[in-house]
Amino acid sequence: MNIMNIISCCNPSTKEMNMYPNKNENDELPIVVIGAGPVGLAAAAHLVENGQQFILIEAGSKVGNNILQWGHVQLFSPWQYNIDKVARKLLEKNGWVAPNNELLPTGKELVEQYLEKLANLPEIHERILLNTKVVSISKKGFDKMKDLGRQQAPFVLYVNQQGVTKRIEAKAVIDATGTWSNPNPVNADGIWTAEERALNNRIHYGIVDLRSEKARYQGKKVAVIGGGHSAINTLLELSQLGDQVDLYWILRKNRVEDAYGGEEKDALEARGELGSRIHQLVDQGHIKVLTPFRIFQLDGTGKGIDIIGEYKGKEFILPNVDEIITNTGSRPDFSFLREIRLNIDSATESIEALAPLIDPNLHSCGTVRPHGEEILRHPEKNFYIVGMKSYGRAPTFLMATGYEQVRSVIAYLTGKIEASKRVELELPETGVCSINLRPLETGDNCSTTC
């Protein structure tokens, strides 16, 4: 959709404002949602239900663009928990037949069978701007320091589409951009070094798909970095190559056993199987484990990459690594929010009031309490961060939690204060984190993605 067409139909004309001189100009402005992933599209569905003008902005060329980067991975949360209730109702009203509630979708299936169908509904499709990047957000006529009249001023978003910068005014902004495109570095101090950036053509950030990248890792010495389910998924994927890959697993945990989880005692069978399978591969010597290994430097040489750090408290070098795959999590990007007044926790980089509820040292996916608009507020009235980005660096986010967030926020923005205070999130006792169990030609594969 052309950006000027959307702006012209969503912003009030001078003639309209002259006809209603007592009308607040901001009331006629759209609500802007940034990010067309599951949570951003759920927000669009709720805005449609509430009869609100909105614009949905997506930097990628497709909705669910980030999810397609791990499209081969299967969630362990079934369809039942991956579809927003209002989005489901809107789709079914238009003849959509939902997938089986109990099946586990891959990322690609989530996009193709749900997100694309939702985005193609006329009420939403005409409001989506693809290939459009938000480069900055401010309050109209106000820099961050100015107070008087600030709350009454509309938001102004500077966006880049096809190399041209445009301005979009909004009465409210919902940032659902997530964190996937902003991975953490391999460095144990959390610092990006020039050496790591220079080697990015030999470092893969994310979960490997051997069906398209087999040749890259065959016959190579490969180091997988990370102690979570995504790293385990990558290791299981690479283990399909057998003796064709020299596989190293680098963790910061004191013991590799800490990465296995509950195994057969896990309340979620697929998640337990994940730990059991990686445990078996380590015991059989198919994967060489280095833990605790804290990486401080990478050095590109003619023979490969030297990984330099501290292993079991002593200086150590893992030499001549051909390829690195890192699954060390991700972090939020606040660069385009420099002119917005935010409350961000200094440790988790989550919304400040949310931090005690999601601290990964205390909580897993299944123990995070539901929360809504009040917890998500910032000093900048009518600006919200929702979805995975609201959790900052904490890995305990659930898709269903994001749906509850946007339900509450949009209820509040549309004047339904009591509805915004209700809790409508329903999860099983064990929680629904994300584990993947998908068959390959040579056996099953497990992984997770929260």
Q: What are the beta bridge partners of residue 31?
A: 54, 172
Query: What is the C-alpha to C-alpha distance for residues 277 and 175, in angstroms, rounded to an integer?
Result: 38
Query: What is the C-alpha to C-alpha distance for residues 124 and 118, in angstroms, rounded to an integer?
Result: 8
Establish how many alpha carbons lie within 13 A of residue 6's alpha carbon, considering only the half-sphere containing its beta carbon.
Answer: 26
Measured at the alpha carbon of residue 228, what is the angle toward residues 367 and 81, in degrees to the nearest 5?
A: 45
Tokens of 377: 């507020």
On whether the 3-181+330-421 domain is CATH 3.30.1360.150, my answer is no
3-class secondary-structure state, position 330: strand
Boundaries of every domain in the chain: 3-181+330-421, 194-328
> What confidence score (pLDDT) does residue 92 get?
97
Question: Residue written as tokens 């440790």?
Answer: 347
Q: Which amino acid is at 97?
A: V
Low-confidence ranges of the chain (pLDDT < 50): 13-22, 263, 267-269, 429-450
Nearest C-alpha neighbor of 229 from the set 179, 275, 277:
275
Please indicate whether the domains covering 3-181+330-421 and 194-328 agree at the CATH topology level. Answer: yes
> What confidence score (pLDDT) does residue 433 get?
40
Burial of 199 (0-12, 13-18, 19+ CB in 10 A): middle
Nearest C-alpha neighbor of 446 from the set 324, 286, 275:
275
Query: What is the C-alpha to C-alpha distance for residues 292 and 357, in angstroms, rounded to an integer?
Result: 28
Is residue 350 within 8 Å of residue 391, measured between CB atoms? Answer: yes
Establish how many alpha carbons lie within 13 A of residue 248's alpha carbon, considering only the half-sphere containing its beta carbon.
Answer: 20
Q: Which amino acid is at 329?
A: G
> What confidence score (pLDDT) does residue 262 get?
52
Measured at the alpha carbon of residue 83, what is the angle toward residues 34 and 75, in degrees to the nearest 5?
A: 95
Is residue 401 within 8 Å of residue 370, measured between CB atoms? Answer: yes
Domain at 194-328, CATH from 1.10.10.60, 3.20.20.450, 3.40.630.30, 3.50.50.60: 3.50.50.60
What pTM was computed for the model? 0.87
Question: Residue written as tokens 């969630």?
Answer: 75
What are the CA-CA distances from residue 347 to residues 15, 22, 97, 355, 393 (Å)? 49, 45, 43, 8, 9
Give, to the nearest 10 degrees, the angle between helix 85-93 and helix 38-49. Answer: 70
- Enclosing H/E stretch for 380: none
Cis amide bond preceding 292, omega within 30: yes
> What confidence score (pLDDT) does residue 395 get?
84
> What confidence score (pLDDT) does residue 398 get?
85
Query: What is the C-alpha to C-alpha distance for residues 43 and 376, in angstroms, rounded to an integer?
Result: 15
